[in-house]
Amino acid sequence: MLSERRHVTENTLFGASPGTPEMSSLSGKVQTVLGPVEPSKLGRTLTHEHLTMTFDCCYYPPPPCHEATSQEPIMMENLFWIQKNPYSHKENLRLNQETEAVREELLYFKAKGGGAVVENTTVGISRDVKTLKWLAEETGVHIISGAGFYVGATHSPETRAMSVEQLTDVLINEILRGADGTSIRCGVIGEIGCSWPLAESERKVLQATAHAQAQLGCPVIIHPGRNPSAPFQIIRVLQEAGVDISKTVMSHIDRTILDKKELLEFAQLGCYLEYDLFGTELLHYQFNPDIDMPNDNKRIRRVRLLVDEGYEDRILIAHDIHTKHRLMKYGGHGYSHILTNIVPKMLLRGITENALDKILIENPKQWLTFK
């Protein structure tokens, strides 16, 4: 590992000498947008959220005859429609217009016992590290920003043309030097976007992710394509490229691996299993009509199953808020839903306080700490 690290510092960091302060100071630390912190400072952590982003890339045309509703401002009268067709309402896809509401909701999250948020917005869905830094300063919530690229459909021609080595340099640079032309540094790689089937440029980004992870000892988080085979394939690509599986999170398990047998087979691979769509209740999942999106009670039962099967050290949970309608400002559940509503229900369903502390505090801490 040491020789690999020297290789990185000498060859990719603009002539920085081996053992630069950046490098040595990250080991054993978590890197937030305000700088490295002791892992014990994080507290209860949501490992997959968005605080500012745009989701225009995933606009989904409304059902026939619903075009007018999709153009209206968000109101009480159309809120239920938006909740059921969230990706067919253009204004709903602009979370970046709600910085003030997000600031207030982060303060509420903190008041309810929250400590940290991993902000998964990557290139392609309008990452904005300056706003993340401002939110962290204003609220005192630790915010960890994501390096890398969202799904292939959002990759620029320049990104598609890059070699794995060039992509690796981009990721390392966003973690050691800063993202989006600033000196604000990312503390995790991802969410790295993958489609089904996996696009060629997505495969290269995955390989680059594994190379950067192996060199930095950093955490990684993946958005899989919407097919039960996708997470298995992604782990194979990452492992062949040298990733540390114990530092890897597979997001969106709730909508990806619904079969119990397949889930337990996937759990054996050793990555973190993230149930990160808490609060999402969809009748019709626009991105894959074959999937019946589970509700929160089903998610809780799945978490209980994984705890019973001995995977309590591998479970993470979050809401993955990425549209306006899920904010409390618009009648949504907000960033505190897990702490205020899900935790009590989990206790009622036999998930112990000890297991909950692992899921909310210890597992995020272990994952986010640089090796």
Binding site for Zn ion (CB under 5 A): 120, 191, 320
Does the CA dihedral 12-18-20-22 come out positive or negative? positive
How far apart are CB 230 and Zn ion at their closest, in Å?
15
Alpha carbon distance 158, 175 (integer Å): 20
How far apart are CB 202 and Zn ion at their closest, in Å?
15
Choose between 70 and 280: whose C-beta lies nearer to Zn ion. Answer: 280
Binding residue per annotation — 333?
no
How far apart are CB 122 and Zn ion at their closest, in Å?
9
How far apart are CB 334 and Zn ion at their closest, in Å?
16
How far apart are CB 273 and Zn ion at their closest, in Å?
16
Choose between 62 and 193: whose C-beta lies nearer to Zn ion. Answer: 193
Alpha carbon distance 349, 343 (integer Å): 10
Which amino acid appears at position 242 of this protein?
Answer: G
> What residues contact 232, with CB distance under 8 A and at least 6 apart?
266, 269
Binding residue per annotation — 50?
yes
Binding residue per annotation — 252?
yes
Choose between 70 and 120: whose C-beta lies nearer to Zn ion. Answer: 120
Binding residue per annotation — 158?
no
Binding residue per annotation — 191?
yes
Choose between 159 and 251: whose C-beta lies nearer to Zn ion. Answer: 251
Choose between 81 and 275: whose C-beta lies nearer to Zn ion. Answer: 275
Binding residue per annotation — 223?
yes
Task: Give the annotated binding-site residues.
Answer: 48, 50, 191, 223, 252, 320
Task: Give the annotated binding-site residues for a divalent metal cation.
Answer: 48, 50, 191, 223, 252, 320
